[in-house]
C-alpha cells in the first residue's frame, strides 16, 4: 500500500487494500475458511444497503454490542463507509451502562450478538428503532416492517466520507469513574494504524489471532484497522480465551502477530513457567544464579514460542503496566514481545517499539509524527505529566465540551493524566496515573502501581491494590486460596484453624517482603485479604475508584 494515501478514511484505505489483495484471506473464526477481501467488500456494501433501508443517514450513530466475530468487522465498515458513526460497546458492560451509552449517543440502531441480547431486552428509547442480530443480520425489532438483510444488495447512494468525519464514539470503561464518549475521526484512527504499521510491518502473509474485545480502541485500531490496511487475515475465537480455548487455537492459526494485555502473559509466567523452576529445591537454587537463570529462561522461551504456534514475530502488550519480573523473563527468553502506550483519546497508540528495539520497563519512543513531552517536569526526578499532540488526538468528548476543555489545551496538547519520565533517547517510562499517585507524609510521591508489582511477585498472590487509609498505605491482596490449600494440605476437618493460621503467617511474610523491597516512605502499614477478584476494565486493569 502507498502509505502516503491522501485520504485517511476507512473506505479509501480498504479500497487501496482491495486493489492489491482482493483474493487474500481477510476474516474467519478459528478453524474455518477465511473469506477473501473481495467477499468482505461485497458483504460490507450489503450492510450499508441494509442500513439505508433502516433509515440510517451519514452522522447517525449505530451501536455494536457483540462478541468478536468476522461480522463485527463487516458491520463496523458497513456503518463507517456510509459516514455514519459506530458506537462500539464493551460486552462486559452492565445493562445499566449499556442503556446509558445507547441513550447518551442517541443510537438509532444496534447490532447485537445472540449471547448479549438479554442485556438490552428491557431497554426502551425513542431513538433506538432497529435491533439486528449480529450473527446473521436477522432483524430482532424495527419500526420498518419490511426491513430485511439482502446478501449481494448494493447501496443506493455514493458516500463521500471526509477525513475529519467522526468514525467512532468509544465509551471508556475508565478506572476513575463514569464513562465518557471519545469522538475519533477517520483520520485519527487511520493515521494511528499507519504509524503502528511503521513500528511493525504486516502484509497479506500475516495472521492475527484476536483475543481482546474489538470494542476497545486498542484492539480496534491495531487489531482491525492496521491488519485491514496491511491485507492481513484476522482470526476470531467462538468462546472466551481461556487456556482450553486459546492453546488449540494458537496451534491451528499459528499467528504471526497478537495483541494482549499484561495479565495474560503474567498468568502464563506465574502459573505455568515459574512453578517448573520452583518444583525442586535444586532448580529453585539454580534459578537464582544469573547466568543459569538466563539459560533456563531461554529454554522456557522456546517452549513458550511453540505454545504460541511457533511463528509469532510480534506479541504486543498494552493497556496496563507489565510486571517487571515477567518482562525480564520475556527478554531473557528472547520472546518477541513489544510494549506500547496509549489511551482511547489518542486512538490509542502514543509510544511503542517493535520487539527488536524494546528497552526494559519502557514503552518505547513516541510514534512517528506524534509529539510527546513531559509537562512541567520535576527538576530532581524529571517526572511530570505526559502530554501529546498530533493527528491521533481525539476531536473531544461527545456532548461534553467542558470535560474536553479540561484535557485539551488551546494549542492542541492532550493531557494524558499519566506520569512519566523520558530518557536521553526519548524512550518513555510510565510511573503511574496522576490520580492514583499518593502523596506521603513528607510530601513524597508514592506510585501504588510500583508497590503492587512487587506484591504480585509474592507466592500465591493473584492481584493486589495499594490504597491510602488514614494516612497509611494498605495493601488489598487477592490470594489463590486453592493453591494455598493444596500446598499446605489443609483437610476439611481442620481447615478453618489451619487456614486462618496460614493466612496470618502469609500476611506477615508478605508485609515484610514488600517493606524490604520498597523505600522508607512506600512501606506498607497493613495487608488485607481481598476475598473476591477485583472488578476490572476491558484491558483487565482494576477499577480503582471502586476501592478507594
Mean pLDDT across 48-59: 98
Mean pLDDT across 402-408: 95
Return the closest-CA partner of residue 77 out of 6, 10, 8.
10
pLDDT bracket for residue 443 (50, 70, 90): low
- Tell me what pLDDT residue 1 has: 43
Return the C-alpha cell found at 168.
Answer: 467512532
Q: Are 364 and 352 in contact (CB under 8 A)?
A: yes
Name every residue whose Cβ is closer than 8 Å to that of residue 42 and which is 6 or more positions away in sequence.
Answer: 152
Q: How far apart are CA 165 and CA 303, in angstroms?
A: 47
Domains of the chain: 10-201+216-226 (3.40.50.12780), 236-433 (3.40.50.12780), 438-546 (3.30.300.30)
Name every residue whose Cβ is closer than 8 Å to that of residue 521 and which is 6 or more positions away in sequence.
Answer: 440, 441, 442, 444, 446
pLDDT bracket for residue 446 (50, 70, 90): confident
pLDDT at 500 over 80: no
Name every residue whose Cβ is closer than 8 Å to that of residue 96 and which is 6 or more positions away in sequence.
Answer: none
**Which of the 8 DSSP states describes residue 546?**
G
Mean pLDDT across 517-525: 87
- Tell me what pLDDT residue 5 has: 54
pLDDT bracket for residue 76 (50, 70, 90): very high
Residues pairing with 130 in the sheet: 109, 142
Conformation bin of residue 83: beta by default, left when phi > 0, alpha when psi is -120 to 50? left
- Tell me what pLDDT residue 177 has: 47
pLDDT bracket for residue 481 (50, 70, 90): confident
Q: Count of CB atoms within 10 A of residue 281's CB?
A: 8
pLDDT bracket for residue 176 (50, 70, 90): very low
- pTM of the complete model: 0.88
Burial class (CB in 10 A: 0-12, 13-18, 19+), 468: middle
pLDDT bracket for residue 442 (50, 70, 90): low
pLDDT at 175 over 80: no
Which range among 19-23, 305-309, 535-539 shows the weakest confidence by mean pLDDT? 535-539
| Helix, strand and coil in the chain, % to nearest 5 | 40, 25, 40
Q: Which helix (H) or strand (E) holds 414?
A: strand 414-422
Mean pLDDT across 413-419: 96
- Tell me what pLDDT residue 536 has: 87
Q: How far apart are CA 451 and CA 438, in angstroms?
A: 12
Q: Which helix (H) or strand (E) holds 29?
A: strand 25-29
Bond into 348 cis (ω within 30): yes
Amino acid at each position: 500500500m502507498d502509505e502516503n494515501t491522501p485520504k485517511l478514511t476507512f473506505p479509501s484505505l480498504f479500497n487501496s487494500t482491495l486493489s492489491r489483495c482482493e483474493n487474500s484471506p481477510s476474516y474467519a473464526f478459528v478453524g474455518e475458511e477465511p473469506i477473501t477481501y473481495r467477499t468482505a467488500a461485497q458483504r460490507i456494501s450489503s450492510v450499508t444497503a441494509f442500513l439505508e433501508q433502516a433509515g440510517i443517514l451519514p452522522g447517525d450513530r449505530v451501536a455494536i454490542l457483540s462478541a468478536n466475530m468476522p461480522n463485527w468487522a463487516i458491520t463496523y465498515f458497513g456503518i463507517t463507509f456510509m459516514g455514519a458513526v459506530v458506537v462500539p460497546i464493551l460486552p462486559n458492560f452492565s445493562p445499566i451502562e449499556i442503556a446509558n451509552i445507547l441513550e447518551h449517543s442517541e443510537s438509532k440502531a444496534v447490532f447485537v450478538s445472540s449471547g448479549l441480547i438479554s442485556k438490552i431486552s428491557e431497554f426502551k428509547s425513542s431513538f433506538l428503532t432497529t435491533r439486528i442480530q449480529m450473527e446473521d443480520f436477522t432483524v430482532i425489532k424495527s419500526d420498518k416492517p419490511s426491513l430485511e438483510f439482502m446478501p449481494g444488495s448494493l447501496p443506493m447512494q455514493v458516500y463521500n466520507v471526509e477525513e475529519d468525519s467522526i468514525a467512532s464514539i468509544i465509551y471508556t470503561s475508565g478506572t476513575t469513574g463514569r464513562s465518557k464518549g471519545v469522538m475519533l475521526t477517520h483520520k485519527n484512527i487511520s493515521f494511528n494504524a499507519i504509524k503502528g504499521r511503521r513500528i511493525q510491518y504486516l502484509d497479506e502473509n500475516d495472521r492475527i489471532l484476536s483475543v481482546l474485545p474489538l470494542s476497545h480502541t486498542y484492539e480496534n485500531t491495531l487489531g482491525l484497522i492496521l491488519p485491514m490496511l496491511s491485507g492481513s487475515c484476522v482470526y476470531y475465537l467462538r468462546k472466551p480465551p481461556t487456556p482450553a480455548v486459546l492453546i488449540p487455537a494458537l496451534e491451528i492459526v499459528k499467528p504471526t502477530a497478537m495483541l494482549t494485555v499484561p495479565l495474560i502473559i503474567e498468568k502464563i509466567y506465574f502459573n505455568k513457567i515459574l512453578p517448573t523452576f520452583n518444583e525442586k529445591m535444586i532448580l529453585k537454587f539454580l534459578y537464582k544464579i544469573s547466568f543459569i537463570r538466563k539459560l533456563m529462561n531461554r529454554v522456557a522461551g522456546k517452549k513458550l514460542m511453540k505454545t504460541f504456534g511457533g511463528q509469532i514475530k510480534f506479541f504486543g502488550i498494552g493497556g496496563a503496566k507489565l510486571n517487571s519480573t515477567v518482562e525480564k523473563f520475556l527478554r531473557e527468553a528472547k520472546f518477541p514481545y513489544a510494549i506500547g502506550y496509549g489511551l482511547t483519546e489518542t486512538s490509542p497508540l502514543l509510544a511503542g517499539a517493535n520487539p527488536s528495539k524494546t528497552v526494559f520497563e519502557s514503552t518505547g519512543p513516541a510514534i512517528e509524527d506524534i509529539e510527546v513531552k513531559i509537562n512541567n517536569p520535576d527538576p530532581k526526578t524529571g517526572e511530570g505529566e505526559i502530554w501529546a499532540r498530533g493527528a491521533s488526538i481525539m476531536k473531544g468528548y461527545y456532548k461534553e465540551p467542558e470535560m474536553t476543555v479540561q484535557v485539551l489545551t488551546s494549542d492542541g496538547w492532550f493531557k494524558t493524566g499519566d506520569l512519566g519520565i523520558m530518557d536521553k533517547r526519548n524512550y518513555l517510562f510510565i510511573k503511574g496515573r496522576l490520580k492514583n499517585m499518593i502523596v506521603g507524609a513528607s510530601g513524597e510521591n508514592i506510585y501504588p502501581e510500583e508497590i503492587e508489582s512487587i506484591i504480585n511477585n509474592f507466592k500465591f498472590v493473584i492481584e493486589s491494590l495499594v490504597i491510602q487509609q488514614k494516612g497509611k498505605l494498605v495493601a488489598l491482596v487477592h490470594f489463590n486460596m486453592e493453591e494455598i490449600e493444596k500446598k499446605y494440605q489443609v483437610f476439611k476437618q481442620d481447615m478453618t484453624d489451619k487456614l486462618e493460621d496460614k493466612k496470618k503467617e502469609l500476611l506477615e511474610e508478605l508485609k515484610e517482603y514488600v517493606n524490604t523491597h520498597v523505600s522508607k516512605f512506600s512501606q506498607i502499614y497493613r495487608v488485607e485479604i481481598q476475598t473476591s477478584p477485583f472488578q476490572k476494565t476491558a484491558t483487565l486493569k482494576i477499577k480503582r475508584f471502586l476501592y478507594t
